[in-house]
A = this chain, B = another copy of it.
Amino acid sequence: MGTQDVPWLSREELAAWVRLNAVVELLPGVIETQLRRDSGLTHFEYYVLAMLSEAPERTLRMTALAGMTSATLPRLSHVVRRLEERGLVVRSASLEDGRVTNASLTDAGWELVVSAAPGHVRNVRANVIDALSSGQVAELTAICDALLKRLDPSGKMTGMYERHDEAGA
């Protein structure tokens, strides 16, 4: 940790950073292409539907949903509006607190996420999980946890990054 005080990276650090960047640039495209082609969903839309599919009553408040998906509230609001226009989700004001909006999965949304899940999971397996040894899977988990402590110190996004069963359907 903090090997030097100078603001430059060592060769080893640079190697890691360059590769991490390449992954961050390329992974979204690979995931999105399959989902869009096979189910007409972006990865983020899929994630939103998957989170709702596992929630009690298939319903979550916007803020909770934003945390689970590591998204800002404006971004989520735009996406949920489009999903609602497509009949995959419905929004309703909370009875307990008038400021709160609840998003709920419709039957059509449920059916779409159920039909999309197997292909998506196969794609994740083919492009990520199967590329790694089981030891590397564990290391990756620990590394990402360490990074997320910096990237999201408050933990407000990423919830507690627990129990996000994306297979969820």
Which A residues lie at the B interface, using CB under 8 A?
A: 1-3, 7-9, 12-28, 30, 47, 69-71, 118-119, 121-122, 124-134, 136-152, 157-158, 161, 164-167
A70-B1 contact in complex given A148-B19, A149-B131, C-beta closer than 8 Å? no
A124 adjacent to B12 (CB under 8 Å): no
B141 adjacent to A136 (CB under 8 Å): no
Interface of A is mostly: helix
Residues in B whose Cβ lies below 8 Å from that of A137: 12-13, 16
Q: How many Å lie between the Cα of A34 and that of B164 in the bound state?
A: 30
B148 adjacent to A23 (CB under 8 Å): yes
Residues in B whose Cβ lies below 8 Å from that of A125: 2, 7, 9, 13
- The copy count of this chain in the complex is 2
A121-B9 contact in complex given A131-B147, A139-B143, C-beta closer than 8 Å? yes
- Contact among B18, B47, B128, B129 with A166 in the assembled complex (CB-CB below 8 Å): B18
- Contact among B22, B138, B139, B167 with A157 in the assembled complex (CB-CB below 8 Å): B22
A150 adjacent to B129 (CB under 8 Å): no
Residues in B whose Cβ lies below 8 Å from that of A71: 25
A110 → chain B, closest Cβ, in Å?
18
Q: Give 15 A-B contacts (CB < 8 Å), ordered by A residue.
A: A1-B131, A2-B125, A7-B121, A8-B121, A14-B165, A18-B164, A19-B140, A19-B145, A22-B152, A26-B148, A26-B158, A126-B150, A132-B143, A136-B142, A143-B143
Q: How many Å lie between the Cα of A7 and that of B143 in the bound state?
A: 25
A17 adjacent to B148 (CB under 8 Å): no
